[in-house]
Amino acid sequence: MRAAYVVFPGSNCDRDVAVALEQATGRPPHAVWHKAAALPDVDLVALPGGFTYGDYLRPGAIAAHSPVMRAVCAHAHKGGAVLGICNGFQVLTESHLLPGALIQNASLRFVCKDVHLRTETATSPFTAGYARGQVVTFPVAHGDGNYVIGDDDRKRLEDQDRIAFRYCEAHGALTESANPNGSVANIAGVLSENRRVLGLMPHPERLADPMLGGSDGARLFASAVEQLAAA
Ligand SMILES: NC(=O)CC[C@H](N)C(=O)O
């Protein structure tokens, strides 16, 4: 599987994503600058976390209008896979590749800690390596991770099995105290209709090696490699 990741001014998780992708694919991914008008010939494009353009206006709002996003949208519209992590998820909602929006955490504070996530569907290239209901640990680090979506759109997500992960307790219960940011229905990550675009606030690349304290995140990248190579 061939992968690329986009570097925007203010990206700060691009190198971590590159390491996780290289670990999974066995070769270094292409780095693509935000001014690029075209993407290299790849199966997966990752949008890393960070504070693109200083999070001005709204996180991800300016990045959504950068030249490279026209190419990323074209890649997604022809069935290419896209993974948006944290600020990358914010860029995906601002680009309308995923529904809903990410607003300021309910606590009005930046939250940085490991959280438990319940895998809600194994039917996607990114989640096929987990079992439905499996609880995994990924870190969160954001000020604007509070996922909001209208009732009709949320029902569509649920009916189409497009909620990838929800914040939960260690044993899988969906409680308010397990929700780090106030997201509606504890939603941590969602899929596009064709299931090939995933956006999530937690950072799988930050727990992708036992040396980092855990490797639950590595499975997400490995799964994408297996699924996209098989496609
Ligand atoms: N690590 C990240 O990508 C989080 C940054 C993000 N712009 C925020 O909501 O704070």
**163-168 β-sheet, strand order:** 30-33, 3-7, 44-47, 81-85, 197-200, 187-191, 163-168, 111-119, 135-142
Q: Is the CB of 142 under 6 A from ligand 1?
A: yes
- pLDDT tens-digit series, residues 82-130: 999 999 999 999 999 999 999 999 999 999 999 999 999 999 999 999 9
- pLDDT tens-digit series, residues 25-58: 999 999 999 999 999 999 999 999 999 999 999 9
Q: Is the CB of 51 under 6 A from ligand 1?
A: yes
Which of 92, 102, 111, 144 gets mutated to test ligand 1 (max ligand atoms within 8 A of its CB)? Answer: 144
CB 89 within 8 A of CB 201: yes
**Residue nearest to ligand 1 atom 9, measured at CA:** 144
Domain locations in the chain as residue ranges: 3-230
- pLDDT tens-digit series, residues 133-189: 999 999 999 999 999 999 999 999 999 999 999 999 999 999 999 999 999 999 999
Using DSSP's 3-state secondary structure scheme, residue 65 falls into helix
**Single-letter code of the amino acid located at 48:** P
**Single-letter code of the amino acid located at 4:** A
Cα-flanking dihedrals φ and ψ of residue 94, to 5°? -65, -25
Provide the pLDDT confidence category of residue 73 given band limits of 50, 70 and 90: very high
- Among candidate residues 75, 86, 116, 168, the one labeled active-site is 86
pTM here? Answer: 0.97
Return the DSSP state at 164.
E
The predicted structure's pLDDT at residue 174:
98
Q: By CB neighbour count within 10 A (0-12 exposed, 13-18 middle, 19+ buried), where does 80 fall?
A: buried
CB 191 within 8 A of CB 89: no
The predicted structure's pLDDT at residue 231:
63
Active site annotation includes 116: no
Statement: residue 229 has pLDDT above 90: no
CB 90 within 8 A of CB 145: no
Measured CA to CA, the distance from residue 209 to residue 218 in angstroms comes to: 7
Active site annotation includes 96: no
| Helices 14-25 + 218-230 axis angle, to 10 | 50
Statement: residue 230 has pLDDT above 70: no
- Indicate which atom in ligand 1 lies nearest the CA of residue 110: 10
230 CA distance to ligand 1 centroid (A)? 33
Closest-CA residue to 68 (of 30, 25, 27): 30
- Among candidate residues 13, 116, 120, 205, the one labeled active-site is 205
Average pLDDT for residues 181-208, to the nearest whole number?
Answer: 98
Cα-flanking dihedrals φ and ψ of residue 33, to 5°? -75, 150
- Indicate which atom in ligand 1 lies nearest the CA of residue 59: 7
Cα-flanking dihedrals φ and ψ of residue 181, to 5°? -140, 0
Q: What is the CATH number of domain 3-230?
A: 3.40.50.880
Q: Which residues of 121-159 are buried (b: 16+ CB within 10 A; e: fewer)?
A: bbebbbbbbbeeebbbbbbbbbbbbbbebeeeebeebee
